[in-house]
């Protein structure tokens, strides 16, 4: 850092030093003009101008929304009394009873949360994170022009942390969607969201890495950035310099709870794949192999006779699974699926998850020191999404559950025929004691085998429902008082 002024001083004196074979030599420019030219060449080039984000923010900022959610808290009955160090029977107990604190008359303490989202079509379709609206009893969307709308949760997918909302409005500003496959490490990116409730805050940075796997068991190839993202930014868009959304800000790595230089965004390609399925089918369908896999490091690669660390090492194969039927064995290293190389273990998870159940695939595995091809019929992964998660769509805000059908394997394991699995609980169902994980078997002694049958049963009932639920290995009737 000290060299630049030294070089300039020598140039002004007409002397430039250079290290030759024999040591330091002195060269005198032939003319004063030569000295000026030499000094000019020694100076570093002027830095290029930093990007101007103002036009991008002005054009697409209005399509970014603030999301506020309300939750119903845990039921708390009666009233509590501050701890004054007295107990029943103490002479002062009756005196201090007047200071008891009454609880919410409804038996629940409401909670609130905030997040971000963005409008993907002028008809009011919005993308955000599933964790932003999970367990919410009410979702409110606020636009930059200060209009507010109650939002319906069309569906959500916890595996990818994507949720689709819908508000009743038209001709809304919307974002331009990009292609996350064209993102390069080092590209400038911009985030807009509501960190800590500060609506439409803009931060910028660069892409730090691509296809980053996080230890959360998801199929998402995260885009890592150094954009400042904090609580409240979740669900907001990540833009490239062309004003295209390339990701959804979702997670940060932090020891303090605040931003520490590592933020992660869900690629927009992944988000749109999930969004299209939720809107069209109300659920997300994923392919399944039925294997447990792990990363291949250099030591493992060497022990298997591989030239380098790559692929996904199969550590366990589920009996009767598609992989088992195809002949996959523990110790196999999956190198490719339909010709697409598998570099890391998460690549296999994502690749299979994106395939249609029932489709045929060719997988290349490394076994006994050489590659071989296996034919497999892709299975269907158990659904973990929550479709129609808002109470009004499922049961008219009366019951307050979000459910999904059970897969054939789940029905077999639970020893039930039909039934629906409770994913989320709020309102009347929560107050009655129904829990996530319960299987609703019947309503008012009428068997329930689908979401539609549950919806029909709750709509035709007047005040009280007798819901038969299976919890673990026991069945109990739960009376639910409807509002």
pLDDT digits (tens, 9 = 90+) for 398-435: 678 888 888 887 888 888 888 898 888 877 888 888 88
| Marked catalytic residue, from 68, 116, 137, 234 | 234
- Taking residues 443-462, report their average pLDDT: 80
DSSP notation for 458-475:
HHH--SEEEEEEEETTEE
Q: Which residue has the higher pLDDT, 183 or 93?
A: 183
CATH for 287-380, among 3.30.2290.10, 3.20.20.105, 2.30.42.10, 2.60.40.1180?
2.30.42.10
- Helix or strand (DSSP H, E) at 55: helix 54-60
Q: What percentage of the chain has pLDDT greater than the value 70?
A: 77
Nearest to 116 by CA among 61, 172, 55: 61
pLDDT at 436: 86
| Rounded-to-integer distance, Cα 338 and Cα 324, Å | 18
> Considering 135, 161, 390, 438, which one is annotated as catalytic?
161
What is the C-alpha to C-alpha distance for residues 204 and 226, in angstroms, rounded to an integer? Answer: 8
Containing 101, the helix (H) or strand (E) segment is strand 101-102
Specify the pTM: 0.63
Instruction: Report the pLDDT value the prediction gives residue 457, as an integer from 0 to 100.
Output: 80
Structure tokens at 114: 């905030």
pLDDT score recorded for residue 361: 94
Structural contact between residues 356 and 289, judged by C-beta atoms closer than 8 angstroms: no
Strand partners, 127: 118, 164
Quick one: tokens of 26? 């002195």
Phi, psi torsion values for 477, nearest 5 degrees: -90, 130
Alpha carbon distances (Å) from 166 to 154, 233, 237, 292: 7, 19, 17, 37
Nearest alpha carbon to residue 356 among 277, 269, 280, 287: 287
Closest CA to 270 of 244, 243, 236, 247: 247
The count of other CB atoms within 10 Å of the CB of residue 415 is 8
Statement: residue 222 has pLDDT above 60: yes
Question: Residue 412 has what pLDDT?
Answer: 82
pLDDT of residue 407: 80
Is residue 131 annotated as a catalytic residue, yes or no? yes
Is the fold of 287-380 the same as that of 390-481? Answer: yes
List all residues 6 or more positions away from 34 whose beta carbon is below 8 Å from its beta carbon: none
Q: Give the bridge partners for 110, in sequence order.
A: none
Average pLDDT, the chain: 79
* Cβ atoms of residues 379 and 290 within 8 Å: yes
Pairing of strands 176-177, 244-252: parallel
Tally the C-alpha atoms within 13 A of residue 268's C-alpha that lie toward its C-beta. 22
Give the pLDDT mean for 199-206: 93
| β-pair partners for 190 | 204, 239
**Residue tagged active-site, from 123, 131, 273, 324:** 131
**451 touches 438 (CB < 8 A):** no
Question: What pLDDT sits at residue 215?
Answer: 67
Q: Which of 82, 101, 102, 78 is nearest to 92 (CA)?
A: 82
Contact 72, 430 (CB under 8 A): yes
pLDDT, residue 87, reads 55
> Residue 471 is encoded by which pair of tokens?
């919890």
CA angle 110, 114, 119 (to 5 degrees): 130
Residues 6 or more apart whose Cβ sits within 8 Å of residue 448: 418, 419, 420, 440, 441, 442, 454, 457
CATH topology of domain 50-73+110-282: Thrombin, subunit H (2.40.10)
Distance CA 148, CA 9 (A): 64
The listed range with the strongest mean pLDDT (185-189, 295-299, 414-418) is 185-189
The predicted structure's pLDDT at residue 13:
33
Pick from 38-42, 171-175, 470-474 the range whose average pLDDT is largest.
171-175
Q: What is the pLDDT of residue 27?
A: 33
Checking if the pLDDT of 76 tops 70, the result is no
Angle 147-152-155 from CA coordinates, rounded to 5°: 135
**Is 415 labeled as catalytic in the residue annotation?**
no
Give the per-residue pLDDT at 390: 34
Give the residue carrying structure tokens 């930059």: 144
Burial class (CB in 10 A: 0-12, 13-18, 19+), 321: middle
Cβ-contact 326, 378 below 8 angstroms: no
250-255 — which CB contacts under 8 Å span 24+ positions?
Answer: 250/129, 250/161, 250/220, 250/222, 251/214, 251/222
Is the pLDDT confidence value at 112 over 90?
Answer: no
pLDDT tens-digit readout, 346-394: 889 888 988 889 999 999 999 999 999 999 999 988 764 333 333 333 3
Task: Sort residue 358 into left (φ over 0), alpha (ψ -120 to 50) or beta.
Answer: left
pLDDT of residue 283: 81
Pick the CATH number of 390-481 from 2.30.42.10, 3.40.50.300, 3.40.228.10, 2.60.40.10: 2.30.42.10
Domain ranges, ordered by start, for the chain:
3-42, 50-73+110-282, 287-380, 390-481
User: What pLDDT shows up at residue 96?
Assistant: 43
Mean of pLDDT values over 66-71: 91
């Amino acid at each position: 850092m000290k060299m630049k002024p030294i070089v300039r001083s020598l140039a002004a004196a007409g002397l430039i030093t250079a290290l030759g074979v024999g040591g330091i030599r002195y060269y005198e420019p032939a003319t004063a003009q030569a000295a000026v030219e030499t000094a000019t060449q020694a100076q570093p080039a002027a830095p290029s101008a930093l990007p101007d984000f103002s036009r991008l923010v002005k054009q697409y900022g209005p399509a970014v929304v603030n999301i506020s959610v309300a939750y119903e808290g845990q039921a708390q009955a009666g009233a509590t009394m501050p701890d004054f160090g007295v107990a029943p029977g103490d002479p002062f107990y009756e005196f201090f009873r007047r200071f008891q604190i009454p609880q919410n008359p409804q038996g629940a303490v409401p909670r609130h949360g905030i997040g971000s989202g963005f409008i993907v079509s002028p008809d009011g379709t919005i993308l955000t994170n599933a964790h932003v609206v999970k367990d919410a009893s009410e979702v409110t969307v606020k636009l930059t022009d200060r209009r507010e709308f109650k939002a319906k949760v069309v569906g959500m997918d916890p595996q990818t942390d994507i949720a689709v909302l819908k508000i009743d409005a038209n001709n809304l500003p919307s974002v331009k969607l990009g292609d996350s496959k064209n993102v390069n490490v080092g590209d400038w990116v911009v985030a807009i969201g509501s960190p800590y409730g500060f609506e439409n805050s803009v931060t910028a940075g660069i892409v730090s890495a691509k296809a980053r796997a996080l230890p959360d068991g998801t199929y998402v190839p995260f885009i890592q950035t150094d954009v400042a993202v904090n609580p409240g930014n979740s669900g907001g868009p990540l833009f490239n310099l062309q004003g295209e959304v390339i990701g959804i800000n979702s997670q940060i790595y932090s020891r303090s709870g605040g931003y520490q230089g590592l933020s992660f965004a869900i690629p927009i390609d992944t988000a749109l794949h999930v969004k299209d399925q939720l809107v069209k089918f109300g659920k997300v369908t994923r392919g399944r192999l039925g294997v447990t896999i792990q990363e291949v490091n250099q030591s493992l690669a060497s022990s298997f006779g591989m030239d380098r660390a790559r692929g996904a090492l199969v550590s366990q194969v589920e009996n009767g699974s598609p992989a088992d039927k195809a002949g996959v064995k523990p110790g196999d290293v999956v190198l490719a699926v339909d010709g697409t190389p598998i570099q890391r273990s998460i690549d296999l998870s994502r690749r299979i998850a994106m395939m249609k159940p029932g489709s045929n695939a060719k997988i290349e595995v490394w076994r006994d020191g050489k590659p071989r091809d296996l034919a497999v019929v892709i299975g269907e992964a158990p659904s973990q999404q929550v479709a129609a998660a808002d109470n009004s769509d499922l049961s008219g805000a009366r019951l307050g559950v979000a459910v999904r059908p059970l897969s054939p394997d789940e029905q077999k394991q639970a020893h039930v025929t039909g039934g629906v699995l409770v994913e989320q609980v709020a309102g009347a169902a929560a107050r009655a004691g129904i829990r996530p994980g319960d299987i609703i078997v019947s309503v008012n002694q009428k068997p329930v085998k689908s979401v539609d049958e549950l919806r029909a049963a709750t709509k035709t009932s007047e005040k009280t429902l007798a819901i038969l639920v299976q919890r673990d290995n026991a069945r109990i009737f739960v009376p639910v008082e409807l509002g």
